[in-house]
């Protein structure tokens, strides 16, 4: 399963291309642009598992930093600042990572 099985390559390209400048990443717009907001809960879960590189069941801070690469291999890494902001937006219980349960799905909707 790869990201382009779930999302349109065109949309990914546009979304990644919109945030090439460091510290320009806007997760709400990004998830909207890649089309993730319109996806079914099952598909959102599949996307989560692609982003969870080490299959730990969580997207940890380190994996969040590489989140754009999960969509497009030649995308940039997030800056430390962007990673922290994304984690703060998604980590409701403050454990420093994002879980695979309904949390991720509701996050994509609200992000």
Q: Does 52 bind Ca ion (CB under 5 A)?
A: yes
CA distance 92 to 59: 13
Q: Does 54 bind Ca ion (CB under 5 A)?
A: yes
Q: Does 56 bind Ca ion (CB under 5 A)?
A: yes
Q: 63 among the known binding-site residues?
A: yes
Q: 95 among the known binding-site residues?
A: yes
Q: Which is nearer to Ca ion, 43 or 60 (CB)?
A: 60
110: three-class secondary structure by DSSP: helix
50: three-class secondary structure by DSSP: helix
The alpha carbons of the chain give a radius of gyration, in whole angstroms, of 13
Show binding-site residues: 52, 54, 56, 58, 63, 91, 93, 95, 97
């Amino acid at each position: 399963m790869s990201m382009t099985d779930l999302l349109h390559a065109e949309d990914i390209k546009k979304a990644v291309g919109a945030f090439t400048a460091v510290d320009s990443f806007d997760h709400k717009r990004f998830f909207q642009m890649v089309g993730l907001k319109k996806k079914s809960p099952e598909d959102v879960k599949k996307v989560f598992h692609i982003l969870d590189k080490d299959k730990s069941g969580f997207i940890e801070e380190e994996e969040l930093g590489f989140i754009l690469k999960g969509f497009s291999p030649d995308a940039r890494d997030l800056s430390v600042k962007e990673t922290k902001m994304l984690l703060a937006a998604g980590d409701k219980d403050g454990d420093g990572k994002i879980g695979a349960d309904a949390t991720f799905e509701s996050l994509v909707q609200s992000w």
